[in-house]
């Protein structure tokens, strides 16, 4: 049995423009801004999406973050950033994922991995979010 003392809390993103990134999640996914403040001298915004928290913050004094490599498909049907660390995070979507993808595409969202059937047979795709973040959308 898994350790019940642990519960997932948040994903934390460092952003060139945290307010613009937060606005993207609001516009594209219907997220809400739960908090907009400052932490250690940098803007920090808590975005709520379906009860999940995405913390988006700006660069702090002394930091010089470098962009990650973009996600891309590989032969064999998988996709990857081809780097160590977090590759992507995923959202389960309760609804018509095909229709959602059409709406997102109309808003200018890029799809590094187009809508396809995943290993278990359900639909999935990857969207390119601000700051080099890749998000997998899976239909449940």
**Residue 88: closest CA among 102, 69, 101, 103:** 69
H runs (alpha helix) in 31-133: 97-106
Quick one: average pLDDT of 32-48?
97
Domains and CATH numbers, the chain: 1-60 (3.10.180.10), 86-140 (3.10.180.10)
In tens, the pLDDT along 70-97 reads 888 888 878 888 888 788 999 999 999 9
**Residue 29: closest CA among 21, 18, 37:** 21
Q: What average pLDDT is seen over the chain? A: 93
Cα–Cα distance, 7 to 75 (Å, whole number): 35
Are 115 and 73 within 8 A, CB to CB? no
Q: What is the pLDDT of residue 23?
A: 98
pTM surpassing 0.85? yes
Q: What is the pLDDT of residue 91?
A: 95
Which DSSP category does 38 fall into? E
Q: What is the pLDDT of residue 11?
A: 94
Q: Out of 55-59, 85-89, 104-108, 120-124, which region has the weakest mean confidence (pLDDT)?
A: 85-89
Cα–Cα distance, 42 to 58 (Å, whole number): 5
Here the tokens at position 100 are 């959602």
């Amino acid at each position: 049995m898994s350790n019940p003392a642990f519960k997932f809390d948040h994903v934390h993103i460092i952003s060139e423009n945290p307010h613009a990134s937060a606005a993207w999640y609001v516009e594209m996914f219907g997220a809400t801004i739960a908090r907009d403040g400052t932490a250690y001298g940098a803007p920090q915004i808590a975005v709520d999406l379906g009860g999940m928290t995405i913390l988006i913050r700006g660069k702090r004094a002394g930091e010089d973050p470098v962009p990650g490599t973009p996600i891309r498909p590989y032969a064999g049907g998988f996709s990857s950033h081809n780097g160590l660390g977090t590759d992507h995070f995923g959202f389960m979507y309760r609804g018509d994922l095909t229709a959602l993808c059409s709406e997102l595409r109309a808003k200018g969202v890029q799809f590094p991995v187009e809508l396809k059937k995943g290993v278990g047979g359900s639909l999935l795709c990857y969207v390119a979010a601000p700051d080099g973040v890749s998000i997998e959308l899976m239909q449940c």
